[in-house]
Amino acid sequence: MSELETGGFVRSALTGMLSRRQVLRRAAVLGLSIPAIGTLLAACGGDDDDESPTATTGAGAATPTPAVAAPTPTIAPVGAATATPPPSAPTATTAAGATPEPEPTATVAPTQAPSGKPGGRIIIGINREPDNLDPAVTPFAVAHTVMMNIYDPLVWRGIDSEFYPGLATEWEIGADAMSFSFTLREGVTFHDGTPFNADAVKAFFDRVKDPATASGFASNLLGPYAGTEVIDETHLTVTMTASFAPALDGMSQAFLGITSPTAQAADPTGFLKNPVGTGFMKFVEWVDGDHILMERNEDYNWASPYFSHEGPAYLEEVEFRFFPDHPTRLAALEAGDVNMIEQLPDAELARFMSDSNYQVQLGFSPGVPSCLMMNTKSAPLDDVNVRRGIASAVDRQELVEVANFNATKVAWGPLWEGTPFYSSEVEKFYPFDLEAAGAYLDEAGWTMGSDGIREKDGQKLNLLWVMGDAHAHYAELLQAQLRAAGIGVELSKAAPAAVTEAAQKGTTQLSTVGWISSDPVVLSNIFHSKNEGAWNLSHYENPELDAILDAGEATSDPTERQAIYTDAQVMIMEEALIVPMWGIHRNNAVEAKYKDMKRDIRTYIWLYDAWVDE
């Protein structure tokens, strides 16, 4: 079986296209290892006779039913204006149109008895060095991967999409989703000995919304924050200026993990690389360009009941090493220099799934898929027909099969199909059609030149794409696809920070983005004019789209949100602000000796229950 056939099999299993019996039969033919087969069986779900996908909010689904009291997650950009994905968003618990009751969330016992043993360490290879580890400041997913070991959120969100106690043991949500009251856990201390209390929560939330903080993403998660009323040491109420359905989800992320007010106030600049939280791991050191080291918090005794044990973590140390390029990161794993890597290269997926020395974590992330962004303020991309021509000229299936070894699948719109409130209406836009692409470009006045590049008024249709290593596996293929339609693309390679800067400042005409999120509020981050100069990389400003996105944030009713976000998705595609390419797939490889290696609803690594069997 070829790599492309193997990739297609894996993708079919992950997306629910195969029954468990079919997975077993085909995996046996391929010769996959027992751990790999187990991973695929867990992913495909269903019983042996179930021949249909099990996801309820996928492509073509009617009205999804995320709970108003338990909104769906929002996440962070995966990299420097580029991306990577978790499992399809799970179904929620409140019927569409239901009004949430302001009652505390129940405490749920662990689903399995503790089985780990203390000791050992893990070294994880990640794809880039974080910018900083202050959750109020950083917008990057790679920082979130590290921070979720150092900080605790008020609530945790399980893979079942339910919310569980974190630093808060109980919470109540006002019927209008404008107030959120919390009862805090007692006896919690920050790593520097500062007591955790309601004042610490208020100080952090206020800092997030302070313009001087220049929050990269946490401010978006807090939405229309009005303030926090401290009632006493263990009780507080957060209020909003408008209804904000995704608030609780935002508070379940490390981007809103509570920081030590003492440490941050003492040295705001130093805190960026010397984080202090309440988490199960304590920061030890950050060696620039090399690694971040953490050690076990021996005082940790406030784990969420969602996890499988209590008390300190099993692992004594966790180290994150930085490997910006795939080959070096992969070589480090195979040499035993690291025990785990994120983002296993697609070309290596089948090989590692067949190797019993490793276990492979598979998953698609909800949110914004990997998209080509077009700078609408830079001619000729200010012409919608040029943008539509580009969208029609991209063969997304070829990008999936050739550049991604069939390890992912085609994306259709600004939301991945597993994201709540995804609309299948986007699937009609811009199928690969060179004839249609030519018609759009002809209408815009760009005619084919003798050299195969279109021209207008003496100017060639050449576009600039400032790109980086993360784009290397498909940039030349995409360049060739566009050239077939008479569009020239100059590939200008730069470091990750320069790629991001060019995209945000608009000095590149093409860029890419992907954003892990299971709430469509993420569309505001990328398409609302208030984020021009930040992550609105299309540099598109339209009051009508802004109003739609604002309404989506303020509306709690699921049926209304579906209608609103359908309008937003359709407008984004009609205006051809993006070329959706493929779903973000986050496949990790870890040595088989590590047990209980879990991932959250957003496919971030959970290490609290992890242990080493040696």
Longest dimension (CA), the chain: 76
CA 82 to chain centre: 11
Beta bridge partners of 372: 512, 579
Residues 6 or more apart in contact with residue 22 via CB below 8 angstroms: none
| Residue that has been written with the tokens 């040029």 in this structure | 386
- This prediction has a pTM of 0.72
10 Å CB burial of residue 457 (0-12, 13-18, 19+) is exposed
Q: 124: which strand partners? A: 320, 340
pLDDT of amino acid 313: 98
Alpha helices (H) in 174-226, listed in sequence order: 198-209, 218-222
Domains in the chain, ordered, with CATH? 3-44 (no CATH), 121-361+586-612 (3.40.190.10), 367-582 (3.10.105.10)
Residue 166: both structure tokens together = 């974190």
CB atoms within 10 A of CB 232: 9
The predicted pLDDT at position 285 comes to 98
- Helix ranges (DSSP H) in 374-492: 384-393, 396-398, 434-443, 475-483
Q: Which has the closest alpha carbon to 495: 77, 124, 81, 85? A: 81
User: CA nearest 157: which of 607, 603, 523?
Assistant: 603
Q: Which residues of the chain have pLDDT under 50?
A: 1-5, 8, 11-12, 15-25, 28-30, 34-35, 37, 39, 41-112
Does residue 326 contact residue 472 with C-beta atoms inside 8 Å?
Answer: no
Q: Where are the beta strands (DSSP E) in 201-297?
A: 225-232, 235-240, 281-287, 291-296
Report the 10 Å Cβ neighbour count for 499.
26
Length in residues, the chain: 614
What are the C-alpha distances in Å from 298 to residues 279, 301, 312, 458? 10, 8, 6, 70
Taking only the tens place, the pLDDT of each residue in 382-425 is: 999 999 999 999 999 999 999 998 889 999 999 999 888 999 99
pLDDT number for residue 27 = 52
How wide is the angle at C-alpha 255 spanned by C-alphas 250 and 258, nearest 5°?
Answer: 95
Structure tokens at 396: 């997304």
